[in-house]
Structure 1
Amino acid sequence: MATTAEFADLGPLNRAREQKAWYWYDWANSAFYTTVLTVLFGPYMINVAGKAAGCVDPDDTCSRTVSVLGLPLAAGSLPAYLTSFATIASALILPVVGAMVDRSPRKKVHMALFAWIGSFFCALLFFMKGEGWQIGAVAIVVSSILAGCSLVSYYAILVDISTEDERDHVSSRGWAWGYLGGGVLLALNLVVYLFHDSFGLSEGMSVRLSMLSAAAWWAGFTIIPFLGIRNRPPRNLVEAHGGVWSRSFGQLWVTLKGLPAYPMTLTFLVAYLFYNDGIQTVINSAAVYGSEQLGFDQSVLIATILLIQFVAFGGALFFGRLARTYGAYRCLLYGTYGWMVIVVAAMFLPRENVALFLLAGVAIAIVMGGTQALSRSFFSLLIPHGREGEYFALYNACERGTSWFGTLLFGLVFQVTGSYRPAIVSLIVFFVLGAVFLIRLDPRRGIEEAGNAVPATV
């Protein structure tokens, strides 16, 4: 009598193992974005460039200029110009990188190499001191671009290690780990900065060591996903000829031409452009609003930044659980409504009321963690198989290429009204437009058009 051997399906177990390794790259790269880009680099670069420009007191606002490729740029504006240049360059480079990633059987290698080279340039910020702002300018631009390149591979790997039904859970846990990792290192670095005298350090040295620690954190924790994720062969490749770069450009051109064939994917990208621009502007403007309009000192702002980091950890997990019941699409739509409430409420915050300001920070953190995590997972369902790198590159490039709209509106409204209150509430237009396009989106149709399985709850 013949017997049939039955084998347990080890797929879920193997995916779970890789997913746990994948989370660690969110933990790793968040150190660069929080400690370096969000908190320390800008003020320190202004200080160093101010000395080179001849400012009497570099800690005060200085309109004197330094020469960047022959252009006279105000020392106080240099960090903004550098990050803007890195943003524009990323928008041009990332789609090509994404096409290359899709054609490669070594996504994790690309992710790790971009991360390690990026962390090397980030470490060069340690040598920015005295009047030597130039090394910092090169380091921040290159490391920012390479960080974006690494995320293209990282996001593409999400599709390889999770099924459609697992996507929201995995993406949410990754974002949560990122907020937690960024918050832990930022807290440690702020202790070193605020109490540098107790550690026998100058203020400048404490900042330089903190930025160096972010580079080490980024590079070191990248080892975990590099070892824990396996490479997979590319799928559904578009036929192209020539070398790696020419094939990448060829596949990118095919994708751009074919994007109108996926109208729901295109609709989501437009929606994401608007509401994500609003999110980024709220985050970037919160410190200015708190200090200039509400009258809080630096200690309150630092406490709020840390609070947002750690609460966003819970927010990402909370929205991930909600998505299991209501679906990512509905959670994103209601998340944009939540952002509308936040910016309207922020307009009426009273001056010097710490409790209400911290409460607003909690609300921002919860909605921010959830909307960012579910945006990534939901978009992954709208991508045709084998095009993950390209589409996630477009996702990142569009975000970076248009992320100045919100700050421009914020600045213009302040210039016209002389108050940050109407400036902050003006950002509601981005969330309204984002919601309008989300309402026009049919999630089930978009997932089916992309050739993916529709999750049990959309």
Structure 2
Amino acid sequence: MAPEVTRLTGEQRGWCLYDWANSVFKVSVLAVFFSLYLTEVVSADARTTGQHCPSALRDCAVSVLGARVQAGSVFGFLLAASTVLQVLVLPLIGAITDRTRRKRALLGAFAFGGAAATCGLAVIHGTAWRAGALLFAVALLCYYASVVVYYALLPRLADPDQRDAVSAKGWAVGYLAGGICLALNIGLVQALGVFGWSSGDAIRVCFVFCGLWWAGFTVLALRRMRDHDLSDSDGEAVAGVLRSGFRQLRQTLAQARRLPITLAFLAGYLIFIDGINTVNTTASLYGSQELGLPVEVLTLTILVVQFVAFGGGLAHGWLAARIGAQRTILLSLAVWSTVIAAAYFVQAGNRPQFYALALGIGLVVGGTPALSRSLYSQLVPTGREAAYFSLYTLGERGTSSIGPLVFSLVAEATGSYRPAILSLVGFLVLGFVVVALVPVRRGIQQAGNPEPNLV
């Protein structure tokens, strides 16, 4: 049986602290405020052309690059379009990260860039939303670039039998931080409302607060972490590092083809995480547009999910230490499929049903990706962690357009979010099947890594 980590080292606590730092973007910005506020501003833009906008989904469209797009679908299409830049950049970032010893500095650069772009979302107001959409794409790129570097550090600071627990604890504290920051943002919106501020003005202040949170806690995380390896590229000019990065990227792609089990697990992960991410980013729209729930109910529900996810993340780490990460992931995916299928039947305006749905999501939302990143770290060759995690993140971003596109297209075609949310169950079921067929222990041997007691 794999030993549980009961006490983290100072560096492991620092590593987990970056989950605490960046979760504010994932929760308050991506999952709550940005999608709702962007849709509101896009709808206001549509009304300037004389359109009647009884809902964000029907009879309310704007022009985007010459095409007419329903206001309620703009956010989904923005998520899909923002992946293009990530697909071009993330593999190179991974290769460069493996070539330089200054991983902490690289992590900080991306984190601070994302934090600055998040603060810049405050430019969205009135009917002006296009500049904010570009800044959101930049913030999203920086977020995932920092994640590539961050994930690559896990194998350097935790041995194979520790990684599931360390990763689960990091993800758990991230959700705890997300809940705390979201609670502060909700309080800020309400407090500013007392002083006569509009909800839009208050949300723009929240964007700035989120950016400062991300930057501030990143500083604390970096102070506890250290650079582990002395790379040959240390001291190289930027152009030399870039050339080396491209060369290593080509080598990694060639090597990856010789690790079919690693690629098989990656394929299963990319399938199910696309469904999970789409649920996370469209839950607010589903609740508001399809179920007719007020914003305060949606924000309170998401807030509760964060604290439930804290316990769920720790529970996933505890369970993985007893039955293995692979089995725990499969159990988690079964729960995901059941909960999302149930979402189709939630009655409009029924708050207890919506709360029950959110509780089910909270139990699994943190643990599934936490164990996926730790299990994947067992399947990648030593010294190429960042390059392989760039493929991991790139694949996630490259395929992440599929979920939002499917969701948006089904919603556009049917005029309802119910069949759109139900369509996401297919991602979870297919991912379950692929992961269940992966011989993980043989894949660890194939990558040349020491085997943990449980997989």
Q: Same fold (TM over 0.5)?
A: yes
Partners of 1:349 and 1:357 within 8 A in 2:
yes
Q: Take 2:126 and 2:341, find their aligned partners in 1: how far apart are those partners?
A: 43
1:154 and 2:147 aligned: no
> In the aligned structure 1, how far is the partner of 2:64 from the partner of 2:288?
31
The alignment status of 1:269 with 2:262, answered yes or no, reads no
- Tell me which residue corresponds to 2:441: 444
Q: C-alpha offsets along residues 334-362 of structure 1, whole Å, 9 cap, x if unaligned?
A: 21222222223333334443223211211
Residues 345-390 of structure 1 deviation map (CA, whole Å, 9 limit, x = unaligned): 3333344432232112111111111101101111111110011111
Change (3 A) 1:96 1:123: same
Contact 2:21 2:218 in 1 (8 A): yes
Match of 2:391 in 1: 394
Letter in 1 for 2:145: C
One-letter amino acid of the structure 1 residue matched with residue 313 of structure 2: A
| Closer/same/farther in 2, CA of residues 418 and 148 from structure 1, 3 Å limit | closer
Give the deviation of 1:292 after TM superposition. 4.2
Give the direction of change, closer, same or farther, for the CA distance of 1:287–1:400 in structure 2 (3 Å limit).
same
Q: Distance in 2 between matches of 1:134 and 1:281?
A: 22
2:136 aligned with 1:143, yes or no? no
1:111 maps to 107
- Is the Cα contact below 8 Å between 2:23 and 2:177 reproduced in 1? yes
Deviation at 1:130, TM superposition (A): 4.3
1:223 is matched with which residue: 216, 219, 226? Answer: 219
Deviation at 1:79, TM superposition (A): 4.0
What is the 5 A alignment of 1:304-323? Answer: 304-323=301-320
Q: CA deviation at 1:308?
A: 1.3
Q: Does 1:180 align with 2:176?
A: yes
CA distance in 2, matches of 1:324, 1:13: 12
Indicate how the Cα distance of structure 1 residues 417 and 149 shifts in structure 2: closer, same or farther if over 3 A, else same.
Answer: closer
Paired residues of 1:406 and 1:427 also in contact (CA < 8 A): yes
Match of 2:160 in 1: 164
User: Under a length normalisation based on structure 1, what TM-score does the superposition of the two structures give?
Assistant: 0.88
- Tell me how far 1:55 sits from its aligned partner: 4.7
Q: What CA distance in whole angstroms lies between the structure 2 residues aligned with 1:326 and 1:194?
A: 45
Distance of 1:432 and 1:67 partners within structure 2: 34
Taking a change above 3 Å as real, the CA distance of residues 336 and 236 of structure 1, as seen in their structure-2 partners, is farther
- In 2, the alpha carbon distance for the partners of 1:132 and 1:283 equals 26
Deviations 1:110-169 (A, max 9, x none): 001111122122222224434544542332222221111111111111111111111011
Which whole-Å CA distance do the structure 1 matches of 2:435 and 2:92 have between them? 28
The residue type paired with residue 452 of structure 1 is: N
Instruction: Map 1:31-70; keep pairs closer than 5 Å.
Output: 31-48=24-41, 54-55=48-49, 61=56, 63=60, 65=62
Distance 1:406 1:159 in 2: 30
- Partners of 1:52 and 1:66 within 8 A in 2: no
- TM-score normalised per structure 2: 0.89
Which one scores higher on RCO, CA 8 angstroms, separation ≥ 6? 2
Mapped pair 1:337 → 2:334 = yes
Deviation at 1:181, TM superposition (A): 1.0
Aligned positions of 1:194-273 closer than 5 A: 194-233=190-229, 243-273=240-270
Q: Is the 8 A contact 2:80 2:400 kept in 1?
A: no
Q: Say yes or no: does 1:28 pair with 2:21.
A: yes
Alignment check: 8 A CA contact 1:236 1:386 kept: no
- Between the aligned partners of 2:290 and 2:160, the Cα distance in structure 1 is 45
Give the RMSD, CA atoms, in angstroms: 2.8
Structure 1 contact 46–58 (Cα < 8 Å) conserved? no
**Separation in 2 of the partners of 1:411 and 1:137?**
17
Mapped partners of 2:284, 2:125: distance in 1: 26
- For these two proteins, the number of residue pairs brought into alignment is 443
Per mean C-alpha deviation after superposition, the further-off stretch among 53-62 and 351-360 is 53-62
Moved more, 13-22 or 444-453: 13-22
| Alignment-mate amino acid for residue 356 of structure 2 | L
Would the alpha carbon gap of residues 275 and 388 (structure 1) be closer, same or farther in structure 2, given more than 3 Å must change?
same
CA displacement at 1:263 relative to structure 2: 1.2
Partner of 1:96, secondary structure, is helix
- Residue type matched to 1:404 in 2? S
CA contact (8 A) 2:84 2:398 kept: yes
- Equivalents in 2 of 1:196, 1:156: separation in Å? 41
Deviation at 1:265, TM superposition (A): 0.5
Per-residue deviation, 1:200: 4.0
Distance in structure 1 (CA, Å) of the matches to 2:305 and 2:270:
23
Asked if the contact 1:46–1:75 (Cα under 8 Å) also holds between the matched residues in 2, the reply is no
Q: Distance in 2 between matches of 1:279 and 1:119?
A: 24
**Structure 2 CA distance for partners of 1:27 and 1:348, relative to 1, 3 Å:** same
